[in-house]
Amino acid sequence: MKTKAITFSCLLATVLFITLSCSKDDDGNDGTDDIALQEEILAQVATNVCEDSYIDMHAKAVALNEAITTLNGTTTDANLAAAQAAWRDIRTTWERTESWLFGPIDADEIDPRIDTWPVDFNDLDGILANGDELTEAYIDGLEESLKGFHPIEYLLWGENGNKTAAQFTDREKAYLSALGENLTKLSADVKDTWQNGYTQELANAGRGSSEFATRQEAFLQLVDAMAGICDEVANAKIKEPFDAADPTLEESPFAKNSFTDFKNNITGILLMYQGKFNTDGKGLEDLVRTHNLSLDAEIKANHAAAIAALDAFNVPFGEAITTRQSDIQNAMDKINALATTLEGKLNPFVLQYVR
Amino acid sequence: MHLYKSTKLAIAFVVGVLTLQLACRKYQDDTTNPDDEWRSGGEQTVFDQGSGAFGHAFNGLPAYLARVHEVGDVQFNATFVSAPAPLNPGLGPVFNNVSCSSCHVNDGRGKIPGRGESAANMLFRVSLPGVGEHGSPLPVPGYGDQIQNRALLNYQPEADVAIGYTNESFAFGDGTSYELRRPTYTITNPYRPLPQGVLLSPRVAAPIFGLGLLEAISDVDILAREDPSDLDGDGISGRANWVWNIDEQRTTLGRFGWKANQPSLLQQTAAAYFADIGIANRLFSDTDGVLEITDSLLYAVDFYLRTLAVPGRRNVGAATVQQGKALFLSLGCSKCHIPDQRTAVTTAFPQTSYQLIHPYTDLLLHDMGEGLADNRPDFLADGNEWRTAPLWGIGLTQKVNGHTNFLHDGRARNLQEAILWHGGEAEAAKDRFRTLGKPDRDAVIAFLESL
């Protein structure tokens, strides 16, 4: 009897174990019933989020370039302010797209050519001092730390963030103009690569896409990118300067734009999740809400908490790391909590429901 | 009666269990493979098939070690600029690239420049015939042992290298023809005349995940596979490289690099910082002795590299993949691309201790024939010898790096071309592959893509 009882409990334990271990597959939702929804989500995310965002970024690069031309023609403080606003504007789009940092922006190595930090001040000063003709092609051949957003930021704001129109030299104007053209060209590159094929690669995941053999691969790529930007913001962009208590480690210091950058990074996650950049469409949200409302609520609550934590500052980041330490720690914690939900719950959710 | 009932009940349970097992078979197909081969990195396997597949930390690192990994990660991605600067000073004055990650993009394989493009993400070793200090290659005066093809403003790059390709036609056993492209390299714009007879050897940046596990294989296990005089008569020798170890001030087993010319990840990392970026460090510095990276950051990068996990395999159970694996074994590929290795026991770092891993390398040097030869000796590696490249994760190269250029100089445009370039000790295995029918060849490729 005793032996039998043990056998039975073993069996029972085994059954329970196996039942639990494959409960994901046995609740009737093995992913076969919402293939159409999944395909629709990928198609709409590819178009409404990714492609639209790069169209938007290119448009804003053109606008920035025009603002620089205007500033160079009529160098007034008002035109400087307009160029600065145009820089902030494209920066907003770019930081949001960092939540889907895969595909052409990555494979074609566009990212390092437009967003390398730090700036090489010595060589930048050297170029301003030499007699080379500052064409777009010349800029294109320069090292990455001499082109893209941050040299533009440096030239528009100055080292201490208080540049006036009267301080602009002709060399600076020429450099700025070539930088603007280079940024416009590279943002057109990314946009074109999406429009000329990559959008379809993502949209057709599992249906002949050479980039994504299965829908699951594509969904995992989205989730991975969303979790990746959390890690980047919390554990690198915020944590490095914070741990070192060193404001010189701050990225984007001249425009004092760091908190805005961080918030836009995190905002991008929700845009991807909800499938809307300019136009609201289907997003991962629609699949999650079909199967797991509490996960949907958790993602949104964690996301809101992370944004709220980043909103709690009224001083620039470089100052906050030494004066508002508990708030900074709180922001990192909230962003990490969001990452944990994305990696620990949304990723397994995709493995469970998407093939 | 009682017995009967319980037996019946037991049968019902068993049937239930079987049903449930069948029910979840599809989901767990790969993960229930009996010989465990889906877990390429043992316990340190991660399941990401996306562009970040090579960049994950080991599983279950304690928080303080995870933080060291993160610090190393940030440093690996840090862009250096000319000194003086508030952040990351010390670049150059001549260099190959500005950060580790600009060549090892996404912790993966460097992209080779297109025709006519400058040789970014690729570097060229140079030396003179003969032997340098401690058996190293003989440096070229004024150049050292590599060409730094970039420079800070107002400095001159050492030289550039123009890359050209000539196509050559061959045929499979079934008569189908194929083309391979043979690279040619020409040094252009040298900043000072290069001596006659300079030996030139190209290198693309190798993937950097799983290296901590390779470092954890004991010397004894690697050396046990050596067969320098081919005593077993299988046509495959396998030799160890013995190289100068700076920290130990003696010659030790070489493990890393295309010719196994570096004894440790730390020395490989320090050498790359100094020669590729121009960052002086504890192991390599200029005569002025000024260090541009602290020891602790150097160690953090070393730790980052040691703790990058290996991506797990995909589609292990697929019929073509199984067929390809069987062919991989029967053709003889696995004589050097050893599928299974066991890391040594270590109490100092349990994360890599006694792991069954599937790197598909023996870490030994093999004669790969004239076609691949760089004719540039490196310690004991002669001009024909290359270290067996690990194959784990190779199927994710397109996803992570957006290209499929393989071999030390990226000449192979896909996995099949990489196989077809094999010669020397691998000539016979290559020829067996070449004479396979197309379905079998495709199966071998499908297997490699599952790695």
Predicted TM-score of the model (pTM): 0.88
Q: Find the mean pLDDT for residues B300-322.
A: 96
Supply B45's token pair: 């396997």
Tell me if A130 and B16 make a contact (CB, 8 A cut-off): no
Query: Counting one residue from A and one from B, how many pairs have CB atoms under 8 Å apart?
Result: 119
What pLDDT, on the 0 to 100 scale, is given for residue B118?
A: 58
pLDDT digits (tens, 9 = 90+) for B217-226: 999 999 999 9
CB of B16 less than 8 A from some CB of A: yes
Q: Return d(Cα B213, Cα B231) in angstroms, integer.
A: 29
Instruction: Give the distance from residue B277's alpha carbon to the nearest chain A alpha carbon, in angstroms.
Output: 13
Q: Per-residue pLDDT averaged across A320-327, rounded?
A: 95
**Per-residue pLDDT at B415:** 98
B15 to chain A, any CB pair closer than 8 A? The answer is no
Q: Using CA atoms, how far apart are residues B90 and A298, in angstroms rounded to an integer?
A: 45
Average of per-residue pLDDT across B230-257 = 95
Per-chain mean pLDDT for chain A: 91
SS3 category, B165: strand
Across the interface, whether the CB atoms of A15 and B20 are under 8 A apart is answered yes
Residue A134 structure tokens: 């500052």
* Option in A11, A121, A224 nearest B85 (CB): A121
Give mean pLDDT, residues B69-77: 95
> Rounded CA gap, A145 and A117, in Å?
6
**Closest-approach residue (CA) in chain B for A20:** B20
Neighbour count for residue A338 (Cβ, 10 Å): 27
Q: Does A325 touch chain B (CB under 8 A)?
A: no
A25-39, A252-266, B103-117, B414-428: least confident range: A25-39
Residues in A touching B81 (Cβ below 8 Å): 118-123, 145
Predicted confidence at residue A251, as pLDDT, reads 82
Q: Which residues of A touch B87 (CB under 8 A)?
A: 117-118, 248-249
**In chain A, which among 28-87 make CB contacts under 8 A with chain B?**
30
Report domain extents, chain A.
33-353
Can you say whether residue B298 is alpha, beta or left, with left for phi > 0 and alpha for psi between -120 and 50 degrees?
A: alpha
From chain B, the residues in CB contact with A251 under 8 A are none
- Helix (H/G/I), strand (E/B), else coil: B307: coil
Which of B24, B100, B398, B404 to mutate against chain A (most A CBs within 10 Å)? B24
The sign one gets for the Cα dihedral B363, B365, B367, B371 is positive
Contact A121/B at CB under 8 A: yes
Q: Which residues of A touch B83 (CB under 8 A)?
A: 122
pLDDT over 60 at A98, yes or no: yes
Assign B119 a pLDDT band (cuts: 50, 70, 90).
low
Average pLDDT for A270-277 = 96
Distance (Å, rounded) from C-alpha A122 to C-alpha A212?
A: 44
- Span A70-75, average pLDDT: 97
Name the pLDDT band for A212 (thresholds 50, 70, 90). Answer: very high
Nearest CA-CA partner of A172 in A63, A71, A82, A64? A71
Average pLDDT, integer, range B157-167: 93
Q: A171 CB near a chain B CB, below 8 Å? A: no
Residues of B in contact with A121 (CB under 8 A): 81, 85
* CATH number for region A33-353: 1.20.1420.20
Q: Tell which of B56, B64, B82, B403 to mutate to test the A interface (max A CBs under 10 Å).
A: B82
Q: What is the pLDDT of residue B12?
A: 45
**pLDDT confidence of residue A27:** 42
Q: Give Cα separations from B74 to B69, B99, B300 (angstroms).
A: 9, 11, 10
pLDDT, tens digit, 9 for 90 and up, residues B163-192: 899 999 999 999 999 999 999 999 999 999
Query: A120 contacts in B (CB within 8 Å)?
Result: 81-82, 85, 91
Which chain A residues are Cβ-neighbours of B403 within 8 angstroms?
107
- Torsion angle of C-alpha atoms B14, B17, B19, B24, degrees rounded to 10: -160
* Nearest chain B residue (CA) to A5: B6
- The set of residues, in sequence order, having a beta carbon less than 8 Å from that of A203 and lying 6+ positions away, is A39, A42, A43, A46, A47, A209
In this predicted structure, the answer to whether residue B3 has a pLDDT above a threshold of 60 is: no
pLDDT at B116: 52
Chain B contact probe: residue of A145, A335, A355 with most B CBs at under 10 A = A145
Alpha-carbon distance of A65 to B302, in angstroms, equals: 42
Of B74, B87, B402, the CB nearest to A236: B74
Percent of chain A past pLDDT 90, that is, above it, reads 84
Say how far apart CA B102 and CA B78 lie, in whole Å: 9
Indicate the SS3 state at residue B45. Answer: strand
By residue count, chain A amounts to: 355
Q: Is the Cβ of A14 closer than 8 Å to some Cβ of chain B?
A: yes
Q: Which residues of B touch A239 (CB under 8 A)?
A: 70
Nearest to B79 among A121, A144, A225 (CB): A144
C-beta atoms of A144 and B91 within 8 A:
no
Mean pLDDT of B336-352: 95
Q: Return the pLDDT at A106.
A: 86
- pLDDT class for B21, splitting at 50, 70, 90? very low
Mean pLDDT of A139-156: 95
A228 interaction partners in chain B (CB closer than 8 Å): 52
Partner-chain residue, chosen from B23, B51, B79, that has the shortest CB–CB distance to A118? B79
Are A118 and B81 a contacting pair at CB < 8 A? yes
Mean pLDDT of A265-289: 96
| Cβ–Cβ below 8 Å for A239 and B402 | no
The separation between the first and the last C-alpha atoms of chain A, rounded to the nearest angstrom, is: 46
Check residue B117 and give its pLDDT: 58
Q: Which of A8-12, A220-224, A229-233, B394-398 has the lowest mean pLDDT?
A: A8-12
Q: Report the amino acid identity of residue A144.
A: E
Residue for token pair 């907003």? A92
Instruction: Flag whether pLDDT at B24 surpasses 50.
Output: no
Please state the domain extents for chain B. Answer: 42-450
Q: What is the pLDDT of residue B86?
A: 87
The reply to whether A7 touches chain B by the CB within 8 Å rule is yes
Which are the contacts of A311, defined by CB distance < 8 A and separation ≥ 6? A263
Residue A264 CA to chain centroid, in angstroms? Answer: 8
Binning pLDDT at 50, 70 and 90, where does residue B263 land?
Answer: very high
| CA distance to partner chain B, nearest, from residue A104 (Å) | 9
Model ipTM value: 0.83
Decide if B96 touches A, using CB distance below 8 A.
no
Q: Of the candidates A11, A109, A145, which has its C-beta nearest B81's C-beta?
A: A145
**Which residues 353-372 in chain B show a CB within 8 A of chain A?**
none
Looking at beta carbons, which residues of chain A come within 8 Å of B277?
Answer: none
Percent residues over pLDDT 70 in chain A:
91
A118, A130, A143 member nearest B88 (Cβ): A118
Banded pLDDT at A19 (limits 50, 70, 90): very low
Across A322-343, average pLDDT: 96
Give kind and range of the element (H or E) at residue B122.
Answer: strand B122-131
* Strands (E) located in B175-309: 177-188, 199-204, 241-245, 250-254
Q: Kindly state the average pLDDT of the residues A69-88.
A: 98
